[in-house]
A and B are shown apart, each in its own frame.
Chain A
Amino acid sequence: MKRAGRYARWAAIVLVIFGSLFPFLWMLSVSLKRQVDIFGGPSLPKQPTLSNYTALFTQYHFGAYLVNSILIVGASVLASLLIGTPAAYALARFKLPGGLNSQALFAALLVRMVPPILLVVPFYIILAKFGLLNTRLGLILLYTGINTSFVIWIMQSFLAEIPTDIEDAALVDGDSRLSALRRIILPLASSGLAATAIFAVITTYNDFLIALTMTSTPAAQTVPVGISTLIGKIQVEWGPMAAGGIIGALPILIFAFIVQRHFVRGMTLGAVK
């Protein structure tokens, strides 16, 4: 009886994993097919080809998209950590007048609360105003802002957990607040920083709507936007589209796997406290 239950459980788990992963495998198989086989019904690639992948880089600017994505994600995540962490520290350690702590936290959260589609029209207007449409810098600024709200929110709860005694001891030893922050607190909060950074990297790399609206050429377009350009007005480039999906998914899947402990922590943080 108990054994039967265990088999049933494992059968269910295998089924779930299959359901979860099969769509990826299907996309992989399409990405290796020639155009003529794609319309020929479901099958494994008859003559596997990498031509869809080479087409991405020779015809469809995926080299540029990848470079843009990496630069934009790197710069905006870094900037938001630099801006957001001190603010989180201030909110965690100092009691500000007028209940400002919780108000500030709420304001930080507001950006994440609002569906991104709401922000797009105003963002567009702002970037147009400063001539930053279709530039990497424009996207970096927007993502920095969005990520900052998230950094404040998460880091505040991490930093609040670190006992004040350690810091006070350092202060008594003659450290300034800032050097105590740098020397004592940040190392203790490093796993929080990692979780925050990873989460920000993934959401920024995956963003589509903002990048779609603010960019128009491979000079600033990111990988998800690049994928969408393969669905043209006239025709869908099925093979390259599948290959683009793989290129879009693979770095993040690998990244999430490598840093999975932090990733899981970032995703669930707060929810369970």
Chain B
Amino acid sequence: MAVTTAPVRPSEPGRRPDAGRRAGLDRALPWLLLLPAAITLGLVSIYPIYAGVHASLTTYLYGRPVAGAGLKNYTDTWHDPVFWQAMEVTLKFVLIAVTVETVLGLGLALLVANVVRGARWIRMSILAPMTVAPVVVGVIWRLIYESETGFVNPLFTSLGLGAPNVLSHEGSAFFGLVLVDVWEWTPLLFLICLAGLQSIPQEPLEAAAVDGAGPVRLFFNHTLPLLLPVLAVGVVLRLIDAVGTFDQIFVLTRGGPGTATQLISIYAYNTAFNFTDYGHGAAMLIALLAFALLLVLVALSLMRRAAKRVAQ
């Protein structure tokens, strides 16, 4: 699921209204306007997070809470080799997929940025994969990869290569999944980069071009530094989403073969719902949240350092 955000910044305070007959109402007004939203958000964010933490500290038997667990669910998870396997797969998946998407998205944006003819159609065609439900994306690629009904095996055999049986091997299934994610989400980074490129002032670029700078130097010295803050937002959004990837895998591989595509999200889901073990499932998910926040922090600091270096 894609998320769009604005950078955090202090809101601009309105001009203080004159003290007068409306002062009392005006003083209460902001709180009245905020109240419904506060209640709603409390119900869907603060309480669920509290409940999740609470569940992770509880022992369940046959789906019912029977006792406090202390930190047992966490220590069990820490000693669970399958959990660490899933952690490794998640990390690998997120890093590879988001890196490829960022590079491709930027490249595509540069490719299309100055095209005027048919721009609307080109843009919409590129965006199409991102608009449809991830479940549908999973269905589409299952129809492509599947060895008996799909498109990939016959394609390879007709080219004289062996049938790859994408979903039958650990390596190919994993990269098959990465490709699905790249197909689906490169458009988001493309879109963000495109918008970023279009907001960059053209005068300095033209001036530098007049001074004889080549396109490559122009890109690295002028365009990229100005684009970095925008790119940072896009990358962070993708990181958060990629960590939670679930739907496509649920439809495509269910985590297999072996554990090759078993992300934490899949393993935690199975633990909580198929093994009826809410306690361990919740503990894994809290660990995943910590992991996602860590990734975001690392990404932001890397971006900031890169921005500084480019600026010098």
A interface residues with partner B (beta carbon < 8 Å)? 9, 12-13, 16-17, 19-21, 23-24, 26-27, 30, 38-39, 41-42, 80, 83-84, 86-87, 89-96, 101-102, 104-123, 125-126, 141-142, 144-146, 148-150, 152-154, 156-157, 160, 164, 167-168, 171, 176-178, 199, 202-203, 205-209, 212-213, 223-224, 227-228, 231, 238, 241-242, 244-245, 248-249, 252-253, 256-257, 260, 263-264, 266-273
Residues of A within 8 A of B188 (CB): 267
Q: Are B120 and A121 in contact (CB under 8 A)?
A: no
Question: Is B26 located at the chain interface by the 8 A CB criterion?
Answer: yes
The chain B residue sitting closest to A238, CB to CB, is: B149
Q: Are A273 and B6 in contact (CB under 8 A)?
A: yes
Contact among B45, B285, B296 for A117, CB-based, below 8 A: B285
Chain A facing B: main interface SS: helix
Q: How far is the CB of A273 from chain B (nearest CB, A)?
A: 6
Contact among A21, A90, A112 for B30, CB-based, below 8 A: A90
Give complex CA distance A24, B131 in Å: 12
Residues of B within 8 A of A272 (CB): 192, 195-196, 199, 230
Q: Are B7 and A273 in contact (CB under 8 A)?
A: yes
Q: Are A264 and B17 in contact (CB under 8 A)?
A: no
The chain B residue sitting closest to A151, CB to CB, is: B37
Give complex CA distance A90, B36 in Å: 12
Residue of B14, B36, B46, B293 ringed by the most chain A CB atoms within 10 A: B14
Residues of B within 8 A of A269 (CB): 4, 6
Residues of A within 8 A of B45 (CB): 107, 110-111, 114, 119, 145, 149
Give complex CA distance A110, B125 in Å: 32
Contact among B1, B132, B150 for A248, CB-based, below 8 A: B132
Residues of B within 8 A of A39 (CB): 148-149
Q: Are B11 and A268 in contact (CB under 8 A)?
A: no
Give complex CA distance A126, B46 in Å: 12
Question: Is B288 located at the chain interface by the 8 A CB criterion?
Answer: yes
Q: Are B8 and A245 in contact (CB under 8 A)?
A: no
Contact among A27, A117, A273 for B140, CB-based, below 8 A: A27
Contact among A112, A122, A252 for B49, CB-based, below 8 A: A122
Known: A93-B14, A101-B10, A268-B191. A256 touches B51 (CB 8 A): no
Q: Are B199 and A21 in contact (CB under 8 A)?
A: no
The chain A residue sitting closest to B65, CB to CB, is: A125
Residues of B within 8 A of A94 (CB): 13-14, 29-30
Give complex CA distance A128, B50 in Å: 16
Give complex CA distance A101, B292 in Å: 25
Q: Are A118 and B288 in contact (CB under 8 A)?
A: yes
Question: Is B108 located at the chain interface by the 8 A CB criterion?
Answer: yes
Give complex CA distance A1, B201 in Å: 28
Known: A176-B22, A224-B247, A256-B131. A270 touches B233 (CB 8 A): yes
Please, could you name 17 A-B residue pairs with CB atoms under 8 Å apart, sorted by A?
Answer: A20-B183, A87-B37, A90-B30, A92-B11, A93-B14, A95-B11, A95-B14, A113-B240, A117-B288, A118-B285, A142-B44, A144-B40, A160-B12, A203-B1, A212-B250, A248-B136, A260-B124
Residues of B within 8 A of A41 (CB): 154
Interface-located stretch among B70-78, B170-178, B205-213, B267-275:
B267-275
